[in-house]
Structure 1
Amino acid sequence: MSESANSMFGEARNGSWLECTNVIVRTMMNRICSLREENYGREGVLDKVAGILEHRWKSCSGFQGREVVKGGSQFDVFRPSRGASQPESNRLLDVREQTCECGKWQEHGVPCIDAVAYYRLFEMKTMQHILDNHVSEHYKYETVNKLLKENIVPISLDILDQDGVTLPPNHTKRSSGRPRKKRIRKQSCFALDPDKSPIVCSRCKKKGHNVKTYVAREQIEKQHPAELDLY
């Protein structure tokens, strides 16, 4: 999701903070409008989710289900071997809690292949029954249309004016993110007052220079003390 968002908002990288915000808002508006037109008037389960369930329906034809406790909700689903890459295995699922040992059913809200095998082989349900009754509402076009009903309110940058209050934050520390294209070079330590310099020598513990220039300063101070101010 992060990489997809980066590709969508790539145009906003090179502008100012105001232009960046405008590009992000405009991109999101266009995205919502296109999805709204694409899904308008559609009903039922999303095509992608329906395709996944149809594939699971076809793949579970050889599975077997065993009831763990008579009259209970737990079932042990046996998966036959499909070659060296898919050895035989079994999964325990609870149809009342809609959970499976594989974790996919409770994580995504869509019946996993073991749950599909249970509904198909044990309860003799149809594929349409699974789509209508056992898929989360989040994967239906009705929910998508509700989500896309309202769009972002646009703002025209031409009518914006400085009010003296709403200003971008003045950060004294660089925030996390991509590094700058050009390195910001610090001012020479010798151009500052040594007492006010933030640079401290790790060797002599004095301000105004660092350990790299310590030896050169020491030699100049011994031989030509008057030249130290020019160094």
Structure 2
Amino acid sequence: MQQLSVSTENRWEEWGHAPLPAMFARPDGYAVVGHDRRGEIVRLTTPDPAKAAAFAAGLLRTDDAVRSEGPRAWSSEAERVLREAGWHPGRAVDTTGWKQQLEQDGFRFHVAAEDFLREFGELVVGHGGAGITRAREPFDLDPLLALGEADRFDEWGEEIGHHLFPVGELAGGFLGLDEDGELYVVDDWPGRFGRMPEAMENLVLGVMPVHMPEPKSTGAPE
């Protein structure tokens, strides 16, 4: 799959920080994902590349296509899924036990991981089915599922220049969060869902994570 994403910054790392459209080329056609004026997810699937490009351009031309970061409501579908899993506004769980066990295992805890786990820790989303640009996959936000994997997280953290802390497990690998609030799938290669809270929308609604650049070393961590 090939992907074209749009950012207000001149760095690929900024993908996912603002609700700007992305266009995907797939064997069966083209898909565009973006947000409307209310912040709801919108999408288009078409075999016509010109139609896909025009749709993406139209999203960019909306009055609020580029919005500053700040609090934002979940899309109705993402909120439904999260609430069914047990999330609610103001949710706060105790992270002390996770912090102690994972630090003893060799992980480095950071504030972004603590904030994430306080709000979302212990949630289990078991839904599947069609997503926006990938199939929705079940995920379990239990960081202890990554016990014994500190070396893997450290090695990939060195490759991308960030400290990765485990926050759960996705069908395709572990989920890790860096100190800037970027959410990754950590397997034999790291893929990036974007920065929270946009990353949670992408995870829940089935948006393909961005494949990170090839590692500087000769091969992926073992």
TM-score (norm 1): 0.25
Structure with max Cα Rg: 1
Larger fraction in strand: 2
Q: TM-score, normalised by structure 2?
A: 0.26
